[in-house]
Amino acid sequence: MRAFLASSIGVATAAALALPLALPSTALAHPAATRQSAGAGTSAPAAPSAIAGSTQSLPLVPVGPSADRSTGVPGMSTSPRLPDTRGLSAREVRTFSLVGVVWDDASTRLDGRVQVRTRSVTTSAWSEWQDVDTHNSEHAADPDTAERGTGRVRGSTAPLWVGQSDGIEVRVQAEHGDREVSSGLPTGMRIELVDPGESSRPHSDAKNGNGTAEPSPVVDDDDKGELAVLPGMTMEMAESSSANVPMAPLGAQEIPALNKADSTADAVLADEALAAAPYIGPRPKIVTRLGWGADESLREKGFVYTNTVKAAFVHHTASGNNYACKDAPAVLRSLYRYHVVSSGWRDIGYNFAVDKCGTVYEGRAGGVAKAVLGAHTMGFNTDSMGVAVIGTFASTTAPKAAVDAVARLTAWKLGLFGADPRAKTTLRSGGGNLYAKGSNVRLNVISGHRDGFATECPGRQLYDKLPPTRTASAKLQGRP
């Protein structure tokens, strides 16, 4: 995110910070939010010692130019002729780490500029103004799908990771390129303040040294058709974890890496009958949903699959680069909550995530070797996978470790379905802003998000790395 210097507000007025604590709203929430959002009245059972995350949802109200603002928000007009400016005055709130703006109608564009500043819990200092990426619906379920038609799905900006904060101020101004417009902001705009909480994991004696639960077969409990679970594990956790058996035992926090020869057995899990000596890259280590602490009670039950995986779309999360790799699980928990509770999706949109140190994470539940339907590239979620590198790479160089991890992941996952990373493939559009619904589109097997939707994602600095990534991925598959 671009940061802009404004006049220092290091000493915020006592009046601004003495405003009443912002209370959460469940009016826009996914059903799970009524169980897990702060102040929602009831909470779903959590694993021992786990601290559930929360979402504060605050309405953005019409605002005008402020006489006491010496410089205002950089780049924003203070003209009294601009009526459609929304915002939230500086106030103290409960602790959060990620922000984003949502609105009622997912089909409505936000043609405007969103900026926020936040107050650090650690230093009590206010940040500079930061832009929130106002991408519009390109990360979403396809039109006319069950996920899009639930009635919960909302328009949303990209989320922005700000670290632990307890103060917020927001300004949103309608714009159209370089020309300001007097109307056009969506209705029902709200700022979402997400606290990732702490990881929720079942007990483990960690005899294998990495915190992974001891092997526990997935079996019916006394032939009653009930899934066996580990102590402290909910049925939702068991459902998600069992989708990766036998690559890892029930309750595993990571799926181990395998060499190329041993990885060919994973094709069976992908339901693919491949020819002898298939081109499958070595399986990378993958941190499971249990490993990064996904609250499985948030997502919808069950999994949705497509027929195959013909392409991989590479994304950036546009959530900023101001995170340490040790904090990547917390960033993921925040993204997951923002996608489900705030945006109304059935689960996190991406099939996989990669942090800037090159660690690969399981995204949407259903099994990392399976063709799980995601919500990452509107129009092309069917028969594809979405890989998001955590960060923003419009002007920041994509870390080599992350780019290498994308090559390893695609070499394995695309190989399970017989796809050559250097080739092209044909996908049928489900509807978007580049291709008409039903049209057959020729795309690279490893494409950037912008190839399927008019967007800057995955950022120029990451997009430019895709040609060598295709070559590296094919080499890992052992292709001539």
What pTM, to 2 d.p., does this model score? Answer: 0.83
Q: What is the mean pLDDT of residues 17-28?
A: 37
Q: What are the distances in angstroms from CA 282 to CA 33, 359, 384, 413?
A: 39, 15, 20, 9
Shared-domain flag, residues 154 and 263: no
What was the pLDDT predicted at 73? 47
Within a domain: residue 203?
A: no
Residue 256's pLDDT band, with cuts at 50, 70 and 90, is very high
Q: Answer for the pair 197, 333: CB distance below 8 angstroms, yes or no.
A: yes
* CA–CA distance, 212 with 225 (Å, rounded to integer): 25
What was the pLDDT predicted at 24? 40
Neighbours of 28 (CB within 10 A): 21
Within a domain: residue 31?
A: yes
DSSP summary character for residue 395: S
Nearest to 241 by CA among 256, 230, 226: 230
Gyration radius (Cα) of the chain, Å: 22
What was the pLDDT predicted at 229? 75
What was the pLDDT predicted at 21? 39
What was the pLDDT predicted at 177? 56
Q: Which residue has the higher pLDDT, 169 or 276?
A: 169
Residue 183's pLDDT band, with cuts at 50, 70 and 90, is low
Q: Give the amino acid at 441.
A: V
What was the pLDDT predicted at 245? 95
Q: How do residues 309-318 score in pLDDT, each as one tens digit?
A: 999 999 999 9
What was the pLDDT predicted at 82? 52
| % of the chain residues with pLDDT over 90 | 62
Per DSSP, what are the bridge partners of residue 62? 86
What was the pLDDT predicted at 40? 35
What was the pLDDT predicted at 162? 98
What was the pLDDT predicted at 275? 57
Q: How do residues 194-222 score in pLDDT, each as one tens digit?
A: 999 987 555 433 333 344 434 444 444 44
Shared-domain flag, residues 188 and 265: no
Helices and strands in the chain, H and E counts: 10, 19
Angle in degrees, 0-180, between the axes of helices 466-477 and 400-416, rounded to the nearest 10? 50
What was the pLDDT predicted at 312? 98
Q: Say whether pLDDT at 291 is over 60.
A: yes
Per DSSP, what are the bridge partners of residue 446? 312
| % of the chain residues with pLDDT over 70 | 74
Q: What is the DSSP string of 370-381?
A: S-B--SSSTT--
Per DSSP, what are the bridge partners of residue 91? 168
What was the pLDDT predicted at 61? 94
CATH of the domain at 273: 3.40.80.10
Shared-domain flag, residues 298 and 385: yes
Residue 332's pLDDT band, with cuts at 50, 70 and 90, is very high
Shared-domain flag, residues 175 and 294: no
Within a domain: residue 176?
A: yes
Helix (H) or strand (E) holding 444: strand 440-444
- Tell me the residue length of the chain: 480
Within a domain: residue 156?
A: yes
Q: Of the candidates 195, 227, 246, which is a domain's last residue?
A: 195
Shared-domain flag, residues 313 and 453: yes
Q: Where are the beta strands (DSSP E) in 104-182?
A: 112-120, 129-132, 155-156, 160-176, 179-180
Shared-domain flag, residues 432 and 318: yes
Q: What residues have CB less than 8 Å from 410, skipping those under 6 apart?
A: 281, 312, 387, 421, 446, 469, 473
Residue 145's pLDDT band, with cuts at 50, 70 and 90, is confident
Within a domain: residue 219?
A: no
Shared-domain flag, residues 282 and 349: yes
Q: What is the DSSP string of 288-300?
A: -HHHHT--TTTSP
What was the pLDDT predicted at 175? 79
Q: How many domains does the chain have?
A: 2
Q: Of the candidates 152, 178, 195, which is a domain's last residue?
A: 195
Q: What is the mean pLDDT of residues 145-154?
A: 73
Q: How do residues 88-101 score in pLDDT, each as one tens digit?
A: 999 999 999 999 99
Within a domain: residue 95?
A: yes
Shared-domain flag, residues 174 and 303: no
What was the pLDDT predicted at 44? 35
Shared-domain flag, residues 330 and 410: yes
Residue 81's pLDDT band, with cuts at 50, 70 and 90, is very low
Within a domain: residue 393?
A: yes
Residue 268's pLDDT band, with cuts at 50, 70 and 90, is confident
Q: Say whether pLDDT at 333 is over 70.
A: yes
What was the pLDDT predicted at 80? 44
Within a domain: residue 237?
A: no
Q: What is the mean pLDDT of the chain?
A: 81
Q: Of the candidates 195, 222, 245, which is a domain's last residue?
A: 195
Most confident option among 10-14, 45-49, 145-149: 145-149
Please give the residue range of the domain that contains residue 334.
254-477
Q: How do residues 42-80 score in pLDDT, each as one tens digit?
A: 333 333 345 789 999 999 999 865 433 334 444 444 444
Shared-domain flag, residues 367 and 435: yes
DSSP summary character for residue 96: E
Residue 374's pLDDT band, with cuts at 50, 70 and 90, is very high
Q: What is the mean pLDDT of residues 465-474?
A: 98
Shared-domain flag, residues 308 and 418: yes
